[in-house]
Amino acid sequence: MRAAAAKLLRPRQFVRAASTATGPKKIAVLAGDGIGEEVMAEALKVLARTSELFPQVQLNYEHALIGGAAYDAHGVHFPDATRDVCAASDAILFGSIGGPVEEQHLPKWKDAEKNALLGMRQAFDLGVNVRPAKVYPALSHASPLRPDLISGGVDMVIIRELLGGIYFGKHTTDGDTAEDVCTYTAEQIKRPLQFAFEAAKSRRGKLTVVDKANVLDTSRLWRRVAIEMHKDHPEVELDFMYVDNAAMQLIKAPTYFDVICTENMFGDILSDAASVLPGSLGLMPSASLGSSVYMYEPSGGSAPDLQGKNVANPAAQILCASMMLRYSLDAPAAADAVSTSAFGDAVVAAIKA
Ligand code: IPM
Ligand code: MG
């Protein structure tokens, strides 16, 4: 059960062979703001132990600034120096970005997340975002849903297209009129769908494409591409769901879902909805994959109110390290060793001691 769960997400063609063939791999460490530094420190601790146990996992870290921390030093949220460090790395381990709510108007924080995250996504062609959402049996009491709604086992992964749609269309404001253009090409749609079909095959074999095809042309294009691609993956059970219904079903019947694939903005919204199912954002890792270096980022945010109190849950950051071992460093055994269940066992052992 444990090993099966840990191995779920590994479509072969998305495992990126690290660029430096021999010798230590280069990891760009971007701790960022808020709790970023402290949870990152725990992930690096876990990776150090992983290197001791798995000699093929040898890592060199290069730390770089991002978000508010970068603004303080360089006056921008995503400095060229950081881009260069990432471009020269085998993987990017990312912490969090953003400042306290009451300071959002300050230049240090204004648009920090947008500038840094959208900048990184574009710079490294990160078109496929992988967000697993799982209710761990041992933590099921933390879920806000009634036990009967989750007792069948909630274990889904949301594959979000990350470089297209309304996020990257033309944005204009002309007096009292504003416009955000949503464009998709078949090419853009194929990449996340390819990952989603492969992911479904390594899981329960079920893919739900979420759209708004009763209204939007881009959604109709998503459906057409998905139906065409399905011919190459007949063993996957494919269905379509309107996004409004999907938002409802995520709460009403979360056990229904296995793999969800959807466009950029729907994925943004639905992954936040799914993230509350486990009961803590601190349990949600994510990976962003593309044609270049991959990036691993907890979904939880910078939580400045928790900073420096030694109370932030480092699980998501540690699980990001595990995803990095799997997708960027092709070290699945090491990734399994840093699995959620291994993490829980270690905490239990430490508490008992
Ligand atoms: C996310 C975030 C970002 C997004 C914001 C901070 C730009 O909400 O990664 O889900 O909307 O993509
Ligand atoms: Mg979001």
Do 74 and 40 form a contact (C-beta atoms < 8 A)? Answer: no
pLDDT value for 8: 36
Q: Cα(335) to centroid of ligand 1, in Å? A: 26
- pLDDT tens across 25-79, in order? 999 999 999 999 999 999 999 999 999 999 999 999 999 999 999 999 999 999 9
∠ CA 7-321-190, nearest 5°, is: 60
**Spatial CB neighbours of 285, under 8 Å, sequence gap ≥ 6:** 132, 296, 297, 298, 299, 316, 317, 319, 320, 322, 323
268 lines ligand 1 (CB under 6 A): yes
Q: Categorize the per-residue pLDDT at 343 as very low, low, confident or very high, splitting at 50, 70 and 90.
A: confident
161 lines ligand 1 (CB under 6 A): no
For residues 95 and 84, give the distance between their C-alpha atoms in angstroms, rounded to a whole number.
18
Please identify which of the residues 25, 108, 134, 167 carries the catalytic annotation. 167
- pLDDT tens across 126-162, in order? 999 999 999 888 788 889 999 999 988 899 999 999 9
- Rounded average pLDDT over 86-109: 96
Q: Please say if 72 is a catalytic residue.
A: no
Query: Do 1-124+293-353 and 137-279 share a fold?
Result: yes
- Rounded average pLDDT over 182-208: 97
For residues 338 and 350, give the distance between their C-alpha atoms in angstroms, rounded to a whole number.
16
Task: List the domain boundaries for the chain.
Answer: 1-124+293-353, 137-279
Q: Categorize the per-residue pLDDT at 240 as very low, low, confident or very high, splitting at 50, 70 and 90.
A: very high
Q: Categorize the per-residue pLDDT at 168 as very low, low, confident or very high, splitting at 50, 70 and 90.
A: very high
Pick the CATH number of 1-124+293-353 from 3.10.20.30, 3.40.718.10, 3.30.420.10, 1.20.1730.10: 3.40.718.10
Q: Please say if 184 is a catalytic residue.
A: no
Q: Report the share of the chain in percent with pLDDT over 90.
A: 80
198 lines ligand 1 (CB under 6 A): no
Q: Which residues of 154-184 are buried (b: 16+ CB within 10 A; e: fewer)?
A: bbbbbbbbbbbbbbbbeeeeeeeeeeeebeb
* Domain 137-279 architecture: 3-Layer(aba) Sandwich (3.40)
- pLDDT tens across 8-28, in order? 344 555 566 555 567 899 999
pLDDT value for 48: 95
